[in-house]
Chain A
């Protein structure tokens, strides 16, 4: 009889999530106790908590193993994604403060929601059982829905929140339905047990399994904004406050991919034939839709939304490779993606100014004259998003397509790479207006970024370039962590 009282080491394995939830609650309570004027201090508290959670994630990794009767798997895979989503939250927190103060909306609840959402994402990365995974997804999602509509007075934000909530709830329902069917087929919600059951040919050929896999895929595909469930992303990213859009494009997406990979590469791994076709089609459709739609955008938040759809497509290519090399490639890609994409959104959030008046691509005209350093940093992010060497984005694509070729997906690789050439065009448009057009005479004043924004920008650029010049350590960690066989 196993004891249900968690031991100390088990608590350690869940420490990042515990810290984040506790701090979220503390922030909420503190705000109630001290009044609404403490936004800035609560922001610092959030930052400190996130740094502590980062340390906790590393500490948890040093004691890998299951926790809470195997509901949690605190392994290298979990540690990797915990670090990625917490890093995303740290970067977003850094430039949220100045943005919210400008909008007159810096309150504790924003930070509390951010912490809860990050906690849910960490849990998604470490869940080894489907119900826990579902709960984690909901923690992350519900906090995200509220964050999207955080600026209550803004009609676009309201629209974004409602859309995100309604479509997100549908997706969650699909996921839950899939979990239920899988339980019916395999008789368990533990991924390890599902895997063991599905190894028997009789269970694997059950038509329920295929349906369950498809439904679970739908649920995750929505969260990562993979086609054909990507419709919500542009509207939500455009309507949500810029830092929230940055967060939504990074943390929840990475965490949803973590869940997707864990379910499909461990639990459903024995029935690969049932799902690889779906993933192949979805990957291609996601890349094509994302890139071609992005070509037509004039709003930079919408452009980045479609770009983030396209990037989900590249990661999906790695999933379609259904190998541990592919899993490692997806992990590396997401790490690079978080830095470059959050960095780009940080610039948008800095540049938008009060009421987000300046979010058209054209508004960036002559940025290189007005703020050369910001323009240079944004160039690094954009070049990385294009996939130019010596940036993380290049090695991300390189590893993804290498995994795909090793898995024999020649056509998907060629089409994906051609897609990335198409994508260059819309990123170049931003470089063009920044560097190749001089600013008009009467442009509104643009102050230099404040300390925290600068820190977020430089940290993102450092991460982007580091992963592009010295990718070995991160890739090796991912490779070791990617073998998800329980």
Chain B
């Protein structure tokens, strides 16, 4: 039992304890959930300070879970998962804070499921056994389904079911690929698979490797979501309650990106490279398409949802450049997107709590009654648009440079996404915060409360920190990406080996 196990299981303990409490004591339930989430976050800080770049995985626990077939409780942390775990543990207490007043029905279930969601999400990022990974992957799906379906807006049921079915359709194929991999290699263990591969004992025929790659890739691409598999995303984001949108956008979408880097590239290098041109094309299409659709959205939440399609296109583009800069930028952008889009959803949620509308047309002049809200929104919008000294700039720059090294046209096309981002963000800001304030805005909109400040402050601080202090975060990422990319250069075309020992005759 090390620190990582504690970070993983503390939310589960919280889930069970919240379940046991009587449902009438709502205030106690909130405090308890916040307590567990905050404690998890504080513990997880120890992961960041204790993490030493060096061996492949840190904080490893490897215990047998199921004996036959051998499935292990094998968890560990590297530079890729470290910041994603921290992102999860940071956003969970913030999600609880922003739900404090917003969630008024079925409070007990909400906070229980929220903690279960945190358990599943952390698990996804630390699991080093493929079945364990799949278990967490699905475990995180169920609470999110309920979060959208029970506490969402009008079309919540449609959105929740669509979200569940899309993810399920992808993940069953991943399960098939995982099982096939085991019948082939005899293990579900990720580290063991890598070892076998390095020793040349895990080589696929080209089509076989391609199909296995696609089994994983489809599950991840739906989750990212890669254009044109993104259609569940606007529905789910718009209908989810604020905290649900935050977790969905900030963390759950990263599950797909994480999976691409963790599994697709190292395990199926040949297929990854074979498919890369197609994937890059889809990523760039997503960048431009997402941005254009965001530009014309009359609904704020939908606008932010489509910016995710655009931003995550950058991540996928960065990954499939196979260049260190691109991959580092992709991981950095995963964190950035988690911070700034999460913040945008929270701010839109704040506006909704005040005026009960998500339509941009219903707003205007919000800066007058709520100057602090306007300032925070401005910083976040600029961060999201990629202003230098704020977080997104660093990630986008690295991705674009990585892409330019491979093919300059990719960088040019992707860069239009950055330009469009400035357009839709500033235009949104102008329409909502400037101009004359209608009567309804003046009476309903008030400035940030203390609790709302508390939720936003860490995010704004991180936007600046990630923007100017990238060297805090990049070394771990760089080191992990280095070996992932090294793996991805390996060739796995079938090798014909002479199994017969050469010196069979003993002297």
Residues of A within 8 A of B (CB): 368, 372, 383, 386, 388-390, 394, 398, 401-402, 405-406, 410, 413-414, 417-418, 420-421, 424-425, 428, 431-432, 435-437, 471-472, 475-476, 479
Contacts and interface: CB of A to CB of B under 8 A. Distances in A.
B164 A420 contact: no
B165 A424 contact: yes
Interface string B106-126: 100100000000000000000
Contacts of B168: 386, 421, 424
Interface in B30-81: 66-69
Given A417-B173, A435-B149, A476-B67, A402 B179 contact: yes
B165 A479 contact: no
B150 interface: yes
B175 A401 contact: yes
Interface in B357-403: none
26 contacts: A372-B109, A383-B142, A388-B138, A388-B139, A388-B141, A388-B142, A390-B135, A398-B175, A401-B175, A401-B176, A405-B179, A405-B180, A413-B176, A413-B179, A417-B176, A418-B169, A420-B172, A421-B165, A436-B157, A436-B160, A437-B157, A472-B68, A475-B66, A475-B68, A476-B68, A479-B68
Contacts of B139: 388-390
Contacts of A417: 172-173, 175-176
A368 B108 CA distance: 12
Given A372-B23, A389-B134, A436 B150 contact: yes
B164 A428 contact: yes
B161 interface: yes
Contact of A414 (B131, B141, B176): B176
A410 B215 CA distance: 13
Contact of B179 (A372, A401, A421, A472): A401
A473 B320 CA distance: 43
Contacts of B157: 432, 436-437
B23 A432 contact: no
B207 interface: no
Nearest to B166: A421
Contact of B149 (A398, A432, A476): A432
A432 B165 CA distance: 13
Contacts of B134: 389
A113 B428 CA distance: 71
A401 B139 CA distance: 20
Contacts of A406: 183
Main secondary structure of the interface of A (DSSP, over half): helix
A413 B174 CA distance: 12
B182 interface: yes
A471 B65 CA distance: 9
Contacts of A402: 69, 179, 182-183
The 7 residue pairs across chains A and B that have the minimum distance between CB atoms: A389-B135, A417-B172, A436-B149, A421-B168, A421-B169, A389-B138, A421-B172
Interface of B: 23, 66-69, 106, 109, 131, 134-135, 138-139, 141-142, 145-146, 149-150, 156-157, 160-161, 164-165, 168-169, 172-173, 175-176, 179-180, 182-183
A428 B176 contact: no
Given A402-B69, A406-B183, A476-B68, 18 more contacts: A368-B106, A386-B168, A389-B138, A390-B135, A402-B182, A413-B179, A414-B173, A414-B176, A418-B169, A421-B172, A424-B165, A424-B168, A425-B165, A431-B149, A435-B150, A436-B150, A471-B66, A479-B68
Nearest to A470: B66
A413 B66 CA distance: 22
A204 B176 CA distance: 35
Contacts of B67: 472, 476
Contacts of B23: 372
A425 B145 CA distance: 12
A372 B157 CA distance: 19
A472 B176 contact: no
Contact of A405 (B160, B164, B183): B183
A199 B131 CA distance: 40
A176 B139 CA distance: 47
B361 to A, nearest CB: 29
B119 to A, nearest CB: 11
A424 B131 CA distance: 20
Nearest to B148: A436
A383 B164 CA distance: 12
A214 B186 CA distance: 35
Contacts of A390: 135, 139
Nearest to B156: A436
A476 B69 CA distance: 10
Contacts of A428: 145, 161, 164-165
Nearest to B105: A438
A435 B142 CA distance: 13
A457 to B, nearest CB: 16
A389 to B, nearest CB: 4
A118 B66 CA distance: 32
Nearest to A435: B150
A420 B170 CA distance: 12
A133 B193 CA distance: 46
A476 B66 CA distance: 10
Contacts of A414: 173, 176
A405 B176 contact: yes
